[in-house]
Structure 1
Amino acid sequence: MRSGGSLVQVTTPRSALVVLVLVALLTGPPAASAAPAAAPESASAAPAPAAGLWAWPLAGAPTVSRPFDAPATPYAAGHRGVDLAGAVGGQVLSAGDGVVAFAGMVAGRPVVSVDHAGGLRTTYEPVAPGVSAGQPVVRGSPLGVLVAGHDGCPVDACLHWGLRRGETYLDPLSLLRPPRVRLLPWH
């Protein structure tokens, strides 16, 4: 087996497994034609997308002014997203590649929602949309501008950033965390 111009000799099944794991880690995720990952079993489970596919929806690494608080049941109290401190008129960016599912008013507030691979949907509010439903976007594409009016925001404007898979709310910050890889001992 060749690796980076040098020959790697595999002498045992254990060595072969170690080489395969290392090659998989170094070459990254499989091509887009691979089957989508299974849905997480709980609201706190990470969506499990490949690292590097997602970015903050505001420039830089904004301050989280209110964290995600998963509701115990679908109709229970909780905070179904995170609030990010921003500035009025600041660009709101798509956190990942997808298609705009909705751009308009919901309960008197301007909202943009983007559908992503694997059944994920991100939402952004309050955002004066600069996109329209059906429009494809890539990570970092401008969706609109942040407007004032988010209750409980400690600064002039906060972006409420939400994430769902189907009807299950997830912590959108989990998109930004690299996946955890743990190698187990060979017995």
Structure 2
Amino acid sequence: MNPGRSGSPPVTHLALPKRPARPPPGEAARARRQWPLWPPPPVTRGFDELPHPYAAGHRGVDLAAAVGQQVLAAADGTVVFAGTVAGRGVVSVDHAGGLRTTYQPLLPTVAAGDRVTAGQPVGTVVAGHDGCPEQVAACLHWGLRRGEEYLDPLHLVLASPTLRLKPWHR
């Protein structure tokens, strides 16, 4: 755990299935949801489930990245912000269902009002994300909201386990 920070300790390595270097053509468009970095990166810090909306904590996930790596739209949507906040490049995209994803720090390659599709580049990663582990070149902070409620963005890309009931034989 980082001294002076509340919430859960950072997740240093998330086991992910082996994937090709790039998604097969059309995969992202069919799925309509995808990782903002490809191939799927390790999560360096997870989402904090908070007891109330004003509690201190981490309202997104940090993903290990390389400086200059393309940041991809996680789903189809419209760019509502592409610019600088507190000296860092930020892109926010509105999606169906009242969802909004946010990516930072990056150098935006889109502008407010642009329509994007899942997997389309929206910027490139830059160094300078606070809390990025020293052994990682750069981190992308990926956030998700529905209205004013912050959600764990990993729910967009990690499949929920499927429960199957088996016949019961005596």
Name the structure 2 match of 1:65. 44
SS of residue in 2 equivalent to 1:57: coil
- 1:76 aligned to 2:59? no
TM-score by length of 1: 0.68
Counterpart residue identity of residue 166, structure 1: G
* Gap regions ≥5 residues in structure 1: 1-50
Deviation at 1:172?
A: 0.3
| Structure 2 equivalent of residue 151 of structure 1 | 130
Q: Helix, strand or coil for the counterpart of 2:154?
A: helix
Greater mean deviation of Cα atoms: 68-77 or 91-100: 68-77
Match of 2:157 in 1: 176
Identity %: 64
What's the CA shift for 1:59? 1.1
Q: Name the residue aligned to 2:109.
A: 130
Aligned residues: CA RMSD = 1.7
Query: TM-score under structure 2 normalisation?
Result: 0.74
CA–CA distance in 1 between the matches of 2:97 and 2:165? 28
Matched, 1:105 2:74: no
After TM superposition, give the deviation of residue 106 of structure 1 in Å. Answer: 1.1
Q: Which amino acid aligns with 1:61?
A: P
* Distance verdict in 2 for CA 1:151–1:107, change over 3 Å: same
Larger Rg: 1
- Pairwise CA distance, 1:53: 2.1
User: Which runs of 5 or more residues in structure 2 are unaligned?
Assistant: 1-29
What's the secondary structure of 1:84's corresponding residue? Answer: strand
1:85 aligns with 2:57: no
> Distance in 2 between the 1:135 and 1:67 partners?
29
Contact 1:70/1:169, CA 8 A, preserved across alignment: no
Residue correspondences, number: 135
Q: Measure the CA separation in 2 of the matches of 1:163 and 1:63.
A: 18
After TM superposition, the runs of 4+ consecutive aligned structure 1 residues lying more than 2 A away are 177-185
Q: CA deviation at 1:61?
A: 1.1
